[in-house]
Amino acid sequence: MSNTDIEIVVEDPTAPEADSPAVTSVRVVDAVVSVLLLVLALILGYDNWRTGAGWESTGPQAGYFPFYLSMILAGASVYGLVAAFLSRKEATEIFVTRAQLRRVLAVFVPTLLFCLAMQFLGLYVASFLLIAGFMRVVGKIALWKSLLTAFVFTAVMFVTFDVAFDVIMPKGPLEAALGR
């Protein structure tokens, strides 16, 4: 037996389970995205038609080019919708499993909450919470390390943007209390 015949398999301990049930197929995702793009194209087309999609003596009206671009998008969306329904391969191909979706949501939900929290708490407090939360929950890092890292990063970000460069960032009640 030579060295080329030996295969070493190292499994990723953070990888999702291979036997996780499917949530949806590629066909369903393709169809939903095509419908959403078609709706967007129709709204844009209507709005550009309403503002003027014709040709005047001085040239194109304001909605001329956007109208035709939205019609191209609508045509591409219809093509994508038809292709999704005619494809046999995509009907059986798994788009995402439950374990994979759980991993995506583990990043998406905190990021969405960060964006919402930033509106009320300001950039720095929301960033501190996001970093500490990710490190603790997703990274399973010790609480003191998570809090220290989040504090140091947020402090560096504050000094860099707010103090050194004097950039206006979204402020919250903590910055207002500190007079910044």
User: Residues 120-179: pLDDT tens digits?
Assistant: 999 999 999 999 999 999 899 999 999 999 999 999 999 999 889 998 888 888 877 876
Q: State whether residue 9 is helix, strand or coil.
A: coil
Q: What is the pTM of this model?
A: 0.67
Give pairs for 75-82: CB < 8 Å, separation 24+: 76/37, 77/34, 77/35, 77/37, 77/38, 77/41, 78/34, 78/38, 80/30, 80/33, 80/34, 80/37, 81/30, 81/31, 81/34, 81/35, 81/38
Computed over every residue of the chain, the mean pLDDT equals 90
Domain ranges of the chain: 23-96, 97-178
Which percentage of the chain shows pLDDT scores above 90? Answer: 68
Average pLDDT score over residue span 45-49:
95
From the number of C-beta atoms within 10 Å of its C-beta (0-12, 13-18, 19+), residue 45 rates as buried
Residue 10 predicted with pLDDT over 70: no
Residue 36 predicted with pLDDT over 60: yes
pLDDT at position 14 is 66
